[in-house]
C-alpha cells in the first residue's frame, strides 16, 4: 500500500510541475492601499462582501480598514460571524449575505479562519448546486470564484497564497480540506500595522503555524523544486529571526512585517509540497476538541519530528544550518534544530503537551489523521497507527481540575 502511495505522490509531482500556479498580486509598503484600490477598479468590483470575525470588529481593526474603503466610496457589507474553526453553517450564512446584498467581490480581513471562510463562500458562489462536502479533496470546484482579496491580520496560515481551505463539519465532529487552484486569492495586502494588536497567544500560535507549514513542506518527498525549497527555508529563517521579538514587543512593525513575509513564503512552499502528520493530527484533534489550529500544530510539531527519526535528519540539518546551528553530523544538526524549536516554544509560553479535559478516542483521531494524510501527504516516513498513537500519548496531558 505504501508503494502505491508513493506512486500516487509521484504522479502529483508530475502534475504539479505542469500546472500553472497563480501567485496573488501582493501589495506591500506605503502605496499598498492605493494599488489595491486601483486593482479593484480594474476588475470592476463594485460591492464587496467584507468577511471578518467579532475580534477584528471589537479590536478596532475593522474600523481602521473600512475608513479607507469609505474614502474611496467603495460599497461593502460586513459579515463578521466567523469563528475559530469555520463551519459549514457559517459559510452558508455568508453566501446568503453575498447574494442578498448584491456583492460582486470578496475581501477577507483576518486570520486563516476568516480567509478560509471567504474562500469557501466564493466556492459556493461559483458552484451554487454543489455542497461543501462534495468539494472535499482535490480539484472539485474547477470554476472561477468572485474576485477575492486576502488581508491577513495574523502571520501564520499563509491562506493568502494557498489553494487550500479547511472547514469544520460540526455534525460529524471533524475537519476536512478543500484544495483547488481557484481558491488562491487574486490579491493579497500585507499591512504590518494591522497585526500589532494581536494578543500574545495568537502571535505565538499563528507564528508556529507558519513554521509548521514551512518545516513540513521542506521535509516532504516532493519539496525538491528550487523555488519550494527556497521559500520554505526563508520562512523558517524569518520565523526564528522575528517571532520571539513580535511576541515580546507586539508594536514592533519590523518584526510583524517579517512574520507576514514568513507566513506568505511558508504558504507558497506548502501549497506545492503539502504538509504532514502534524497537520493531519491537528485537524483531527481540532474537529473533535475545538482546539485552535496553530496551538495544536505548535505543540505537536516536535513530537512528530521526533517520530520521523533519521528519515528527517538530512533536511532538518539543512534547516538547522539556515538558522545558524552547528553540528558535525546530520543527526547532531537535527537535534540542534529540535533544541532551538523547544527553546522558541518555551519563550512563547507554548506548553510541551496539549491540555485536554478528557481524551478518550485516540483510535478515532488516528483514523481521521491517516485518512487525511494517506495518500496525499508525501511525508518523509510513513507512520503506523501505533506510532501516531504514541505521538498522541506523548503530546497530550489530561488537565485534571481539582474537585
Domains of the chain: 21-194 (3.40.50.1970), 200-398 (1.20.1090.10)
Task: Specify the pLDDT at position 84.
Answer: 81
Low-confidence spans in the chain with pLDDT less than 70:
223-224, 399-403
Task: Specify the pLDDT at position 14.
Answer: 80
C-alpha cell at 201: 497567544
280 three-state secondary structure: helix
CB of 297 closer than 8 Å to CB of 212: yes
Report pLDDT digits (tens) over 53-80: 999 999 999 999 999 999 999 999 999 9
Q: Is the dihedral of CA 301, 246, 188, 120 positive or negative?
A: positive
Task: Specify the pLDDT at position 245.
Answer: 98
Q: How far apart are CA 59 and CA 297, in angstroms?
A: 26
E strand or H helix that includes residue 165:
strand 164-169
CB of 195 closer than 8 Å to CB of 155: yes
Task: Specify the pLDDT at position 171.
Answer: 79
User: Which pTM value belongs to this model?
Assistant: 0.90
C-alpha cell at 344: 522558541
C-alpha cell at 112: 486563516
- Chain centroid to Cα 10, Å, comes to 24
Grid look-up 522575528 returns: 242
CB of 76 closer than 8 Å to CB of 49: yes
Q: How far apart are CA 401 and CA 292, in angstroms?
A: 21
Amino acid at each position: 500500500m505504501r508503494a502505491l502511495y508513493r506512486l500516487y505522490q509521484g504522479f502529483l509531482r508530475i502534475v504539479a510541475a505542469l500546472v500553472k500556479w497563480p501567485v496573488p498580486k501582493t501589495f506591500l509598503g506605503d502605496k499598498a492601499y492605493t494599488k489595491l484600490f486601483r486593482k479593484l477598479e480594474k476588475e470592476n468590483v463594485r460591492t464587496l462582501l467584507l468577511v471578518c470575525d467579532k475580534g477584528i470588529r471589537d479590536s478596532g481593526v475593522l474600523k481602521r480598514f473600512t475608513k479607507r474603503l469609505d474614502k474611496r466610496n467603495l460599497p461593502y457589507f460586513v459579515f463578521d460571524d466567523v469563528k475559530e474553526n469555520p463551519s459549514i453553517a457559517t459559510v452558508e450564512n455568508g453566501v446568503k449575505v453575498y447574494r442578498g446584498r448584491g456583492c460582486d467581490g470578496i475581501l477577507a480581513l483576518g486570520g486563516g479562519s476568516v480567509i478560509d471562510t471567504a474562500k469557501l463562500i466564493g466556492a459556493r458562489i461559483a458552484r451554487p448546486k454543489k455542497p461543501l462536502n462534495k468539494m472535499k479533496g482535490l480539484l472539485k470546484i474547477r470554476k472561477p470564484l468572485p474576485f477575492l482579496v486576502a488581508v491577513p491580520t495574523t502571520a501564520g496560515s499563509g491562506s493568502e497564497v494557498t489553494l487550500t481551505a479547511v472547514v469544520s463539519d460540526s455534525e460529524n465532529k471533524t475537519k476536512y480540506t478543500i484544495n483547488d487552484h481557484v481558491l488562491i486569492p487574486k490579491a493579497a495586502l500585507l499591512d504590518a500595522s494591522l497585526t500589532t494588536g494581536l494578543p500574545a497567544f495568537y502571535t505565538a500560535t499563528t507564528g508556529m503555524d507558519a513554521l509548521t507549514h514551512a518545516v513540513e513542506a521542506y521535509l516532504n518527498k516532493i519539496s525538491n523544486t528550487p523555488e519550494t525549497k527556497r521559500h520554505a527555508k526563508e520562512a523558517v529563517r524569518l520565523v526564528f529571526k522575528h517571532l520571539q521579538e513580535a511576541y515580546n514587543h507586539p508594536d514592533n512593525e519590523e518584526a510583524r512585517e517579517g512574520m507576514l513575509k514568513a507566513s506568505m513564503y511558508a504558504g507558497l512552499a506548502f501549497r506545492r509540497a503539502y504538509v504532514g502528520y502534524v497537520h493531519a493530527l491537528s485537524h483531527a484533534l481540532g474537529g473533535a476538541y475545538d482546539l485552535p489550529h496553530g496551538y495544536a500544530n505548535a505543540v505537536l510539531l516536535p513530537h512528530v519530528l521526533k517520530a520521523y527519526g533519521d528519515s528527517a535528519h538530512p533536511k532538518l540539518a539543512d534547516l538547522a544550518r539556515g538558522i545558524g546551528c552547528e553540528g558535525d553530523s546530520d543527526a547532531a544538526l537535527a537535534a540542534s534544530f529540535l533544541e532551538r524549536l523547544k527553546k522558541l516554544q518555551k519563550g512563547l509560553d507554548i506548553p510541551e503537551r496539549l491540555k485536554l479535559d478528557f481524551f478518550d478516542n485516540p483510535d478515532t483521531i488516528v483514523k481521521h489523521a491517516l485518512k487525511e494524510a494517506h495518500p496525499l501527504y508525501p511525508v518523509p516516513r510513513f507512520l503506523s497507527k501505533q506510532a501516531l498513537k504514541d505521538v498522541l500519548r506523548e503530546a497530550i496531558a489530561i488537565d485534571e481540575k481539582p474537585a
